[in-house]
Structures are given as structure tokens and as C-alpha cells.
Structure 1
């Protein structure tokens, strides 16, 4: 090849490389945006929790008619509550929603880009078309960048491969036979075999998580035995149980361990103990796991505060603060109807737990180190002895006007002020 021809060839390659680089940068600029287009619901309401409870009862496979094929029916709102929480669990800060129509659904999702020095989001819009099996994906747009049809056609199989690599995804792909898309309604036809419940429980708590929880049950058993050997009574302060379990969490997080998973296991173990439940209630395969002797876990001399705090902490760590907050408000408003009344000190314990759970996720190792050193109850639970409790529905509405009224919000603000005074739980 002559030298001029070689130069022309190299120039053509250089221009082609430059064109590809410019095209890639243009595609990136079109795909990535500075803000989420679909931020999702600002908060989960107490009414949403009531709706979720009724949804779970309505679709409990153990209570449905016998037969391998079952149909789960969800309204658009119910489907979006589940989808949004799932998106947040898979990608912290993400949101997703569906708009359901006859034979199709419009999926909208906003995903933050991790490790980006600036705010950067992938805003995804897609259409799902009903088929005899799982829906087909089409008309995909990422930001302002349309995705070619042939690329969209290959996305679902790739997504299915990745889902199949996880216990939850594998179970879903095995069980779900068809999805029917209707106006404001979703029907999921699934196969419920004889081993369905066992597989579901095993998915919620896979073997690695079962082993982790067993280790914390052993640590809790040791702490309670030490309490008994020292002549302790039937009650044991939560402040005495947090250090040994979070010492274990800190030890297990060394060397690249999953500190958030360790914190979750520690809090869940304590929550089960506070409610008198055992691990085998969650997973029958753990019948042989240690079961600490029954001892009442207390906080401010009460056995209900640890339950409020710990359950809210687990929910906040797993599903985000809004979910835990809504469940706390839902329980108190339900108590108005059931007769035990509305208690603001219970709300304070819920909020303390929510902050603890969010801290366990946001700064997991720092929390482990702090709790392992030892804590007093006043480090994570404010004084609430003066807060109103056991209010009847008439008293609550007459004094506070409901959960959205200004007097109620002033009480909420007072609770947050007291929590901010606690160094461990102070808002960042």
C-alpha cells in the first residue's frame, strides 16, 4: 500500500473512531438526566397500609381454593405500592410505577446513577404488551433517547436471566404463568405447588441469611443466659441487648462483610425476641436454631416500646422511612377503632426505631461501633412520659383533628425535636 493510501486509511479510521465517540457521548447526553422524571409517592399513607393488609389477606395462597393454578388480583394502586417498594429495595432512591390499560401497561421508572459526582438519573419509559405468557417489552425510551425495537426485544430475556440468578427472581419466573393487563387492574396467574410455601419462605430468607440469623440467635441466647446468671429478673432492658448483638455485627462485617445485612439480622433477632416469636415461625427449617429463654425486653420500663422501636427499625432498614412511618400511624389509628386508643408515645417509639433503622443502612459500621461500646436508653429513646396516650377516637379528633390536622402535626414536630436532641438519632 502506498504511503498516501495508508494515510487516507488511517484518517478514515480516525474519523470513524471520532464519530463513534461523538455518537456515544450524544447517546449518553440524551439518556442521562439531572433529575428524576417520576419521583414516586412522597410518602406511604396509613390508608395504603390498610390496603396492603387487605391485599395480602385476599391473596393469601394458603386460604384460596385447592388447585395448582391461582390468580392474584391487584388494583393499579396496589401494584404500584409493591413495584415502588421493590424498586427502592433493588436500587436505593429509585422509583417506578405502572399505568394499566386493556392489554397494555405503561412502565415509568427513575433510577439514580451510583457513584456519579453530580446528580444523574436514568428516566425510563416503556410499554408492556399482553401476550399468552409474560408481557412483551416495546417502545422503550431512556431519557430522550429512543431505544431501537430490536434492542428492546432483547432486554426482557436478559432481564429474565438476571432475575433467574436470584432466589426471588427464580421463584417468580417458575411460578408466574401469565399476566393479564386490564384497565386499572393486574391479574397474575401463577402455579402454587405443594412446596410453594416452603419455597417462598426459603426465598425470603435464603440459606446464607438463615445462617446469619442463627448466629445472632446464639449471641442473644448467650446475653440472656449471662443476665440470668447475674441474678437478673424477668425483664431486660433493650439497652443491655444492643451491645452484644452489634459487637457480633461489627466482627462479622470485618473484611468486606455486608454490614447492612448484619445490622438487619441483629435488629430482626431483637424484634422477634421482643414479640415472643422464634426464628422457626419465619422459616420452619430453622426449628433447630437456638431459642433464647423467654425474657421480657423493656424500654422505659415498658414491654411495648421495644416492639414499636425494633419493628419500625427493621421496616425502615428494609423498605425506607416512609413505609415504617405509615405503619406506625396505621396501627395507632386502628387502635382508635379497636378500643386501646391513640398513643403519641408509641408514635415516638416508632419514629425512634425508624431513625435507628435508617442509620443502620446509611452508616452501618459507625452504628455498629457506637452500639458495641454500650448505650443508655436515653441515647436512643426520648422521655415521652408526658405525651398523651390511650386517647379515644372522640378525644383524639376533638383535640388533634385527625392525622393531617395542624394540632397533630405540631405533636409530630415536638416528637422530632426530642429525637433531634439525642446524639445517636439526630437527623443528618
Structure 2
């Protein structure tokens, strides 16, 4: 037993040492890739289109996506620069992908940049590529050791869920001389996990310690009379009014995301625990459920889908909502067009909040002047719900039938009639 424990400790020590060596050797004051590329608006539109292409595939259907050398560089640089000033150069040679990555580091004594170079290739005709070469700065590491360290970092960090979400549907990646072809197969289970992760995983560019929207949210809850239902409008109106005061055209989209993420965390995630302790006195303020049309689930659907749309894209959010209802028809509470209407309205809300600086600012102004939740969510309570799979098939056949599409069109029309979305 002691020998086994000693071996485990030696293994952990070796892993930590290897990780430290990797980081130390990769850090320096000179970038391997110049950080001069500024993405034009057209580049950003193209990058988003590439990244969202996979969401068009229906669950349990197999699809392929072809990406050129230019597409790969555009999408990769867009992703990297969402988090820090970074650059990546991807080249294709001899059926292998070569990545040269430079990221800017926070102020430290080791250096300004971290530089990593690696290659991916389909070894022994494998369906998925593996790491064939890895350099941390100038240090060349054995590819298997580097792959092991990277996997351990992902496995024991917050990256794990996102990594699984991104890679699980991929069945094969073929690398040719001028492009890569990705074959992927999303399933319903993956969509449910994606919905939960994206809805609760909004990234904040405002520190929790100084998030003014959390303070405003806490103030609203403290003032609310617990004898009455808490309307989602009571949360959205003051937070968007604050966003309208704080924002410039350049920051409006990010401020809107923070409003949506803050409210979604309260409504769907942790309730009072979503608010920092120094803001919230839990001895005087209790958890209060949020409603739309006297229903908690509608508020949850609306704001969760808005959060998914703000952090990912509307097409993905709508598909997730539809698939959840089909799943509920089989094993849950039944298919609900009422829930689906809340999903679709939330998608439209999230799109309007983040579509452009002009749209973001206009929504802030409109939401600061609302008088009721009917201003952003049409009444769906006359729509069918609680349909089992057998009843759904009897009444609507499938989601491709004419009667189903007419019902969806009716929901879309109700949402489009609201002035806030015009």
C-alpha cells in the first residue's frame, strides 16, 4: 500500500514538474506570431458564421463541414481574441495542421507572451487527429507527454465541460492539402447539456465584486412585497435602465450581456447565491421566484434562452428549445408550445440585445420604459401543452408538418408584433 501511494505521489510530482517546465519555457518577451491583425467587421461576421455552422444540423443527423486554410485562421483568431490579445497562424502541410500560437500574459516577471507550436495529424489512418509535435517556446517535448499534460489540465479545470461539449459530436476530421473536413453527429443528450452549460455559463467582463447589476438586482428584491408575484419585468426594467445610463455605443452589447447573465443566474441558477455576500444580506432578503403570465417556467425559459443567444447564437437556442420539448413529450411533462413560445421570444430578445450597437442601445431605452412583461413577451397561454409523444404525433405528426409550421408561424407573428422588436 505504501509503495502504491509513493508511486502516485511520484506521478503527481512529475506531472506538476512537467507542467511547470512547459509554462516556464513557453513564456518570453518576443511573440512568435505578430499581434497586429485587426479583424474587420466583415471578418467577424464570417468568423461567427463559421463557428455557428454546426448548429444548423438536426440532432441525430450526420453532417460535414469543410473549412479552408483561410476559414481556420479567421475562426481561430476570432475565438482567441475574445479572451486576450492573441494570435494564431495555422498552416496545412503534408496532411497535417500546424499551429503557432501567441497569447499576451498579465503583468509578471517571466515575460509578456506565451508561445506554443504544435501539429495535428491522422496517425495510422485514425478518424481523429492526434498531437504529433509540440513545442513550448524553443523546448521540443515528446508529443505523448505533451498530450497527457494537456488532457490533465483540461480534465481538472473549468475547461472540461466546454471541451466535451465542443468535441463530443465530432466523429472524424480529415486533413487534406488545402482544407479540413469535419464529420459530426450531434445528439439530443448533447443538446440538453449544451443548453444547461450555455445558459448558466455566461462569461462576465465585470468582476463580481463590482458588478452594479447585481447590486441593482438585490435592491429590487429587497423592495419587493413578498405577498405579490415577482414579475420578470421588475428585474429587466431597472437593470436595462442602468445599462442605458452606463453604456456607450461601443460598450452597449457587453453591458446588455451582463444584464441578461445576471438575471439568468438569479432566475435559473443559484437564486440568492448568485449575488455576492457583501451585496446581499441573506438574513433580511429571501429567495423570490420570478414569473411570466403567473408561471415560473415561462420566466425561466425566456431568460435562459436569451442568455444562450447572447453567449452563443439564436439558431442554436431555438433548436435546443424545440428538442427539449420533443424530449419532454417522451419522458417529461409533455410537449408545450407555451414553453416553446417563451424560448422563441427569449431568442428574439437576446438577438435584439446583441445584434448591433444601435440595436443594443435601442433595446436599453425601450426596456427602461416598459410597463408590463407583455411588452417583450406575448401571451402564449392559449397554446397547446402537456402533449405526450403519442398525442403530439396524432395532432401534429412531426415538426415538419404543415400544421406544426403554421403554429410556429403564429408564435413568430405574435412576437414580431411587439414594438420592442421592430
Please say whether Structure 1 and Structure 2 have the same fold, judged by a TM-score greater than 0.5: yes
Structure 2 partner of 1:44: 56
Q: Does 1:219 align with 2:216?
A: yes
- Quick one: distance in 1 between partners of 2:274 and 2:155? 17
Q: Could you tell me how far 1:130 is from its partner in structure 2?
A: 6.9
Contiguous gaps of at least 5 residues in structure 1: 1-31, 52-74, 81-96, 100-105, 113-123, 138-155, 166-172
Secondary structure in 2 aligned to 1:424? helix
- Quick one: distance in 1 between partners of 2:54 and 2:156? 35
Structure 2 partner of 1:148: none
Secondary structure in 2 aligned to 1:333? helix
Alignment equivalent of 2:375, drawn from 379, 382, 385:
379
Structure 2 partner of 1:161: 102
Alignment equivalent of 2:419, drawn from 407, 418, 423:
423
Which structure has the larger Rg over C-alpha atoms? Answer: 1
Change (3 A) 1:349 1:330: same
Alignment equivalent of 2:290, drawn from 291, 297, 310:
297
Show CA shifts across 1:205-242 (max 9, x none).
778433488322211110011113xxx42620111211
Q: Does 1:342 align with 2:335?
A: yes
Q: Does 1:136 align with 2:98?
A: yes
Secondary structure in 2 aligned to 1:209? coil
Show CA shifts across 1:61-107 (max 9, x none).
xxxxxxxxxxxxxx996xx6xxxxxxxxxxxxxxxx548xxxxxx67
- Quick one: distance in 1 between partners of 2:348 and 2:48? 26
Structure 1 partner of 2:152: 192
Change (3 A) 1:174 1:392: farther
Secondary structure in 2 aligned to 1:47? coil
Show CA shifts across 1:370-390 (max 9, x none).
111233121111121221101
Q: Could you tell me how far 1:192 is from its partner in structure 2?
A: 2.8
Q: Does 1:236 align with 2:230?
A: yes
| Equivalent residues of 2:98, 2:118 under 8 A apart | no
- Quick one: distance in 2 between partners of 1:345 and 1:404? 19
Structure 2 partner of 1:64: none
Secondary structure in 1 aligned to 2:59? helix
Once the two structures are superposed, the pairs formed by residues 261-300 of structure 1 within 5 Å of their partners are 261-278=254-271, 290=280, 293-300=286-293
Change (3 A) 1:184 1:207: same
Structure 1 partner of 2:239: 245
Q: Does 1:352 align with 2:345?
A: yes
Structure 1 partner of 2:20: none
| Aligned residue pair count | 296
Q: Could you tell me how far 1:36 is from its partner in structure 2?
A: 7.3
Show CA shifts across 1:292-330 (max 9, x none).
631010000100001111111111122221011111111
Q: Could you tell me how far 1:193 is from its partner in structure 2?
A: 4.2
Structure 2 partner of 1:142: none
Structure 2 partner of 1:322: 315
Show CA shifts across 1:374-427 (max 9, x none).
33121111121221101110111122121222221111111111112111124x
- Quick one: distance in 2 between partners of 1:412 and 1:129? 49
Contiguous gaps of at least 5 residues in structure 2: 1-41, 76-88, 107-113, 132-146, 162-200
Show CA shifts across 1:225-279 (max 9, x none).
1113xxx42620111211111112122214x662111111111111122225158
Tell me the TM-score normalised to structure 2 length.
0.59
- Quick one: distance in 1 between partners of 2:419 and 2:261? 23
- Quick one: distance in 1 between partners of 2:129 and 2:279? 39
Structure 2 partner of 1:153: none
- Quick one: distance in 2 between partners of 1:176 and 1:295? 51
Q: Could you tell me how far 1:346 is from its partner in structure 2?
A: 0.8
- Quick one: distance in 2 between partners of 1:187 and 1:76? 22
Q: Does 1:313 align with 2:306?
A: yes
Secondary structure in 1 aligned to 2:215? helix
| Equivalent residues of 1:38, 1:109 under 8 A apart | no
Q: CA RMSD in A?
A: 4.3
